[in-house]
Amino acid sequence: MTLSVTLFDTRAAASEAAAALIATALEADLAAEGSASLMVSGGSTPKRLFGLLSHADLDWPHVTVGLVDDRWVAPDHPDSNEKLVRTLLLQNKAAGANFLPLKTSAARPQEAEADRGAAYAPYCTAVSFVLLGMGGDGHTASWFPGMDGLARIVSPDETRCVAAVEASQAVQPLRMTLTGPAVYAAKQALLLVFGEEKRSMLRSAPEADPMVCPVRFAIDGLGRRLSVYWAP
């Protein structure tokens, strides 16, 4: 299997193209359905993209923004994906969007799994657009290599749309993440990747053992609905 990757000279150019791709997809669903949904990842890679997308001329009050995953930390914690999205994406024109957090006041994510599952379920049968990232270890979402419960979370037979996980290899191990079926059902998705190290991972991912390189689960599950953008 060969993964088709669109290469950009700069991260700025890749971010601009990504923002345009997402805006077009959301606009199409808004026109056809009257509403749209967007699930996004955190980290440093999408920061510029979020800023650009926040200025998109869309009917944002009919767009629901959610998270692909989040660490079980306070919403104002520096490692919180919710904080990142609220600070950079839910601004300007996008300030009117509806937002679905993954973090609750529960002490552990397991205690909030049913609540967040009920909140996310209406959108996860066919998310308009899912924005994915990838770590240097080949993880995406909070699907980490060798993580307890990984096989169940990414299984097409998984009935949950979100799952509480404990990734011992992560700096913040307690997390909530979208499951495989929630990601695979997306109408369109983008894997946005920066850096030479991750370019090497992209080359090997399509043939890698998915339990060792979990991003392959998303690659296989989404197929042609997944675009991949890379910049140095």
Q: What is the pLDDT of residue 206?
A: 94
Per-residue CA distances from 38 to 8, 13, 94, 161 (Å): 23, 21, 12, 15
115-151 residue pLDDT tens: 999 999 999 999 999 999 999 999 999 999 999 999 9
Is 164 a residue whose pLDDT tops 80?
yes
Q: Rounded mean pLDDT of 1-7?
A: 87
What tens digit of pLDDT does each residue of 64-103 get?
999 999 999 999 999 999 999 999 999 999 999 999 999 9
Q: What is the pLDDT of residues 167-199, one digit of tens each?
A: 998 999 999 999 999 999 999 999 999 999 999
pTM of the predicted model as reported, rounded to 2 decimal places: 0.98
| Rounded Cα–Cα distance for residues 146 and 169 (Å) | 9
**Percent helix, percent strand, percent coil in the chain, to nearest 5:** 40, 20, 40
Using pLDDT thresholds of 50, 70 and 90, give the confidence band for residue 1.
low
Q: Tell me how far apart the alpha carbons of residues 217 and 223 are, in angstroms, rounded to a whole number.
A: 10
Q: What average pLDDT does the segment 217-227 reach?
A: 97
Would you say 37 and 9 are in contact if contact means Cβ atoms under 8 Å apart? no
Distance CA 54, CA 96 (A): 10
Residue 150: predicted pLDDT: 98
Query: Structural domains in the chain?
Result: 6-191+214-231 (3.40.50.1360)
pLDDT band at 2 (very low <50, low <70, confident <90, very high): confident
Amino acid, res. 26: L
The pLDDT of residue 4 is 93
**pLDDT value at 11 more than 70:** yes
Strand partners, 98: 64
